[in-house]
């Protein structure tokens, strides 16, 4: 009997721990949309204004101590961001003529990468940029596995590898400056602001010249909404944007599992204990039969 009581207390303690863990889940679940007083910021990229000069690529490299990009844009050739390039410009042949498209981290409202990260090294700041914090990261690359846009890149050839991706120049934003690419763009294809303002602005542009644009903003809904927003003359599919992605958030896909964890942690041990108590004398019978 005394043994049973001990087990009971152990189980009770376990339940307590699980409950505590369970609570913290609820607390840390990412909130959709703008949080608190600070609104999410983002960048509106207007492909119709982009001239493909690659100035954004150069200033980005300079701002983050990366090698100056030398490759030029070629229509039809898709370049990707890499462990030494956070932002690239590509050119596509579309039904509306050749179009340039910038590519970088989308700064999702509910990022898959931050939900994946077990150390909160990937972090959605309250201002909106999604940043990477090297002092926390253990290099597991789960953020890369999870990001639907394949954004984070890893320095495979380094002994102190970093995760490389656009951080919307978070350090500059904090100082009140614009992201380097936005500041450097000669054609005003990039505009920085709160996500709400940018969506309004984008709608205005579409309304003002409805023939020049697709009547949609890429990023308004995709993956639960993103900080980078795209306007384009040609259908998004034709300019290399992934239109297959779901509109709801990616971390939501794991919610069901995550919420069930505390309940399993809490409910299973007493259940097992119950079965144990119920069957405890079975083996005596079994032994008797054998004798």
Partner 1 sequence: MTSQTFPIAKDNDGKSIGKFILSELKPRGKWLTPFNIISIPTILLGIGLIVIRYVQGLGAITNLTQEVPWGLWIGFDVVTGVAFAGGAYVVTFMVYILNMRRYHSIVRVTVLNGFLAYAFYTGALLLDLGRPWNVVNPMIGNNFGTSSVLFLVAWHFVLYMLAELIEFSPAIAEWLGSRKAKRILSGMTIGAVIFGITLSTLHQSGLGALYLMCKDKIHPLWYSEFIPVLFFVSSIFAGLSMVIFEGSISHKVFADQIEDKEKSHKTQNTVVHSLSKVCAVTMFAYFCLQFLVFIHAKRWDLINSPMGYWFLTEMIGFVFIPMVMFFYSYRTSNIKMIRIAAILTMIGVVMNRLNVTVIGFRWDAAVHYVPSWMEIVVTLAVIFTEIWIFRWVINRMPVLRESPAWAKEKH
Chain residues in the site for ligand SF4 (CB under 6 A): 105-108, 111-113, 116-117, 119, 121-122, 130, 132, 137-143, 147, 149, 151-152, 163, 165
CA-closest candidate to residue 250, choices 143, 162, 129: 143
Report the partner that residue 41 touches, choosing among ligand SF4, partner 1, none (CB closer than 5 to 8 A by kind).
none
Tokens of 100: 């340039």
Cα–Cα dist 90/169, whole Å:
21
DSSP string, 126-188: TTS-EEE-TTT-----HHHHH-TT---EE-TT-SS--EE---TTHHHHHTTPPPHHHHH-TT-
* Residue 284 · residue 259 · CB < 8 Å: no
Tokens of 116: 């994946």
Question: Shortest gap between Cβ of 264 and partner 1 (angstroms)?
Answer: 6
Whichever of 18 and 48 has its CB closer to partner 1, that residue is 18
Give 242-253 as a 3 state SS string: CCCCCCCCCCHH
Question: Shortest gap between Cβ of 26 and partner 1 (angstroms)?
Answer: 10
Q: Does residue 37 bind partner 1 (CB under 8 A)?
A: no
Question: Shortest gap between Cβ of 207 and ligand SF4 (angstroms)?
Answer: 28
Question: Shortest gap between Cβ of 178 and partner 1 (angstroms)?
Answer: 28
Among the listed residues 31, 76, 156, 291, the single contact to partner 1 using CB under 8 A: 156
Among the listed residues 19, 73, 144, 206, the single contact to partner 1 using CB under 8 A: 144
Question: Shortest gap between Cβ of 40 and ligand SF4 (angstroms)?
Answer: 11
List binders of partner 1 among 215-244 (CB under 8 A). Answer: 242, 244
Q: For 83, which DSSP code? A: T
Question: Shortest gap between Cβ of 239 and partner 1 (angstroms)?
Answer: 18
From the list 31-39, 41-49, 191-199, 282-290, the region that binds partner 1 by CB under 8 A is 282-290
Whichever of 209 and 247 has its CB closer to partner 1, that residue is 247
Q: Name all contacts of 252-259 with Cβ < 8 Å and 24+ positions apart.
A: 252/110, 252/224, 254/115, 255/29, 258/25, 259/25
Cα–Cα dist 282/276, whole Å:
10
φ/ψ (deg, to 5) at 107: 50, 60
Report the partner that residue 10 touches, choosing among ligand SF4, partner 1, none (CB closer than 5 to 8 A by kind).
partner 1
Question: Shortest gap between Cβ of 245 and ligand SF4 (angstroms)?
Answer: 10
Whichever of 148 and 187 has its CB closer to partner 1, that residue is 148
SS3 label, residue 95: strand
Whichever of 79 and 141 has its CB closer to ligand SF4, that residue is 141
- Matching residue, tokens 């030398």: 70
List binders of partner 1 among 101-120 (CB under 8 A). Answer: 112, 114-120
């Amino acid at each position: 009997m005394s043994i049973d009581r001990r087990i009971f207390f152990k189980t009770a303690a376990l339940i307590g721990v699980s409950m505590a863990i369970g609570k913290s889940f609820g607390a840390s679940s990412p909130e959709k949309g703008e949080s608190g007083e600070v609104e999410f910021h983002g960048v509106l990229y207007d492909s119709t204004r982009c001239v493909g000069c690659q100035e954004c690529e150069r200033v980005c490299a300079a701002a983050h101590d990366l090698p100056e990009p030398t490759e030029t844009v070629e229509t039809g050739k898709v370049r990707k961001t890499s462990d030494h390039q956070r932002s690239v410009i590509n050119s596509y042949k579309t039904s509306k003529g050749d179009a340039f498209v910038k590519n970088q981290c989308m700064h999702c409202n509910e990022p898959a990468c931050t939900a994946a990260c077990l150390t909160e090294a990937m972090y959605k700041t309250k201002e909106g940029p999604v940043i990477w914090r090297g002092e926390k990261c253990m290099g597991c690359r789960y953020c890369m596995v999870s990001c639907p846009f394949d954004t984070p890149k890893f320095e495979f050839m380094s002994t102190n590898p970093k995760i490389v991706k656009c951080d919307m120049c978070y350090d500059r934003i904090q100082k009140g400056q614009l992201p380097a690419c936005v500041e450097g763009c000669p054609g005003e294809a990039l505009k920085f602001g709160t996500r709400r303002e940018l969506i309004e602005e984008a709608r205005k542009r579409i309304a003002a010249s409805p023939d020049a644009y697709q009547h949609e903003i890429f990023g308004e809904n995709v993956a639960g909404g993103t900080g980078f927003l795209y306007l384009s003359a040609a259908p998004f599919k034709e300019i290399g944007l992934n239109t297959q992605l779901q509109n709801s958030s990616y971390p939501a896909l794991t919610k069901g599992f995550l919420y069930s964890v505390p309940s399993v942690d809490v409910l299973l041990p007493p259940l097992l204990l119950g079965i144990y108590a119920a069957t405890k004398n079975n083996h005596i019978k079994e032994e008797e039969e054998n004798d």
